[in-house]
C-alpha cells in the first residue's frame, strides 16, 4: 500500500503516541485486561494508515470527460447560484468523503489554474446544506484547454481541521494530478456549466480519477 506524504508525519506521531499509551497502561495490569487495549490500538493504527493510502489509478483521457475529483458518495446534484467566482447559475455536484475514503483530491480536467482562494469558517457536518457556504473551504477554478471553467471547492467537515491545496494561480495542470488533501471526513463540490451532461446519480459511490462526473 502506498502512503501519501501528507500522512507520514501523522502516522509516525500516532504510532509513538499509541506505543507510549500502551506502555503506561501495561504497568501493573494483568495481561488478559491489557490485551483488548492492544487490539483496539492496532485497529486504530490500521485505520489511520488506510486513511492516508494513495492508490494508483489510470486516468480517463477523454477530452470531453470531466473526471471525479474525489472518492466518496454523491450527496447533491442541483442547480445553484454561485456567488464567489462565476456569479451566475451552475450545476453543483457534491461528493461526501467519509473517513474510510481516500482523501486525495484530483484535478478533473487538463488546463490551467485560474483562481485559488482559502476561506476560514465553521465545521458543520459535511452533508449539512450550509456547509457549502459557512464551513472552512478552499476554492479552485481550472479552465480546460479550450477555456471551459470548472470550479472545485474543498470543504471541511465536522472532523476535518486542515484543507490543503497544492495549486497556485497560473499553474498548468494535467487531469488526474493531485489538487489537494483534506483530513478525516470532508466534502468536495464541483460547479459546472448548466449545459454539462451529468454522468453520476444521487447516492452513487464514486472514485477519484476512475469515474466520470460529467461530460461537456
Return per-residue pLDDT of the chain as tens, 216 residues: 788 788 788 788 888 888 888 887 777 777 767 778 788 888 888 888 877 888 888 888 788 999 999 999 999 999 999 999 999 999 999 999 888 888 899 999 999 999 999 988 665 665 555 666 667 889 999 999 999 999 999 988 655 567 889 999 999 999 999 999 887 768 899 999 999 999 999 999 999 999 999 999
β partners of residue 74: 95
- Burial (0-12, 13-18, 19+ Cβ within 10 Å), 166: middle
32: cell is 488478559
Res 125: pLDDT: 60
- The yes-or-no answer on residue 132 being catalytic is no
Q: Which residues pair with 122 in a beta bridge?
A: 135
Q: Where are the domains of the chain?
A: 5-51, 65-215
Among the CATH numbers 3.30.750.24, 3.40.50.620, 3.30.43.10, 2.70.70.10, which is that of 65-215?
2.70.70.10
Q: How high is the pLDDT of residue 63? A: 84
pLDDT score, position 44: 85
Q: Please state the pTM of the whole predicted model.
A: 0.82
Catalytic residue among 41, 94, 132, 186: 186
Task: Check residue 18 and give its pLDDT.
Answer: 86
What is the pLDDT, as a whole number, of residue 162? Answer: 76
User: Please, are residues 187 and 126 in contact by the beta-carbon 8 Å criterion?
Assistant: yes
The string of DSSP codes covering the chain is: --B-GGGHHHHHHHHHHHHHHHHHHHTT--HHHHHHHHHHHHHHHHHHHHHTB----PPP--TTEEE--SSEEEEEEEEEEETTTT-EEEEEEEEEE-TTS--EEE--SSEEEEEEEEE--B---TTSTTHHHHB-EEEEEEEETTS-EEEEEEEE-SS---EEE---TT-EE-TTSEEEEE-SSEEEEEEE-TT-EE---TT-EE-TTTSEEEE-
Q: What is the pLDDT of residue 40?
A: 86
Exposure class string for 99-117: b at 16+ Cβ within 10 A, else e: bebbbbbbbbbbbbbbebe
Amino acid at each position: 500500500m502506498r502512503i501519501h506524504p501528507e500522512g507520514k508525519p501523522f502516522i509516525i506521531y500516532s504510532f509513538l503516541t499509541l506505543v507510549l499509551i500502551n506502555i503506561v497502561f501495561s504497568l501493573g495490569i494483568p495481561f488478559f485486561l491489557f490485551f483488548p487495549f492492544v487490539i483496539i490500538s492496532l485497529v486504530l493504527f490500521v485505520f489511520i494508515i488506510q486513511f492516508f493510502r494513495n492508490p494508483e489509478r489510470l486516468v480517463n483521457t477523454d477530452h470531453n470527460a470531466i473526471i471525479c475529483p474525489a472518492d466518496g458518495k454523491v450527496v447533491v446534484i442541483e442547480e445553484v447560484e454561485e456567488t464567489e467566482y462565476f456569479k451566475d447559475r451552475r450545476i453543483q455536484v457534491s461528493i461526501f468523503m467519509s473517513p474510510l475514503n481516500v482523501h486525495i483530491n484530483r484535478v478533473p480536467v487538463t488546463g490551467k489554474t485560474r483562481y485559488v482562494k482559502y476561506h476560514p469558517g465553521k465545521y458543520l457536518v459535511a452533508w449539512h446544506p450550509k456547509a457549502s457556504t459557512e464551513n472552512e473551504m478552499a476554492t479552485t477554478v481550472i479552465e480546460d484547454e479550450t477555456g471551459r471553467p470548472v470550479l472545485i471547492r474543498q470543504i471541511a467537515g465536522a472532523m476535518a481541521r486542515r484543507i490543503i491545496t497544492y495549486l497556485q494561480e497560473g499553474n498548468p495542470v494535467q487531469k488526474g494530478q493531485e489538487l489537494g488533501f483534506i483530513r478525516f471526513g470532508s466534502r468536495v463540490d464541483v460547479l459546472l456549466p448548466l449545459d454539462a451532461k451529468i454522468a453520476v446519480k444521487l447516492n452513487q459511490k464514486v472514485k477519484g480519477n476512475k469515474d466520470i462526473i460529467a461530460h461537456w
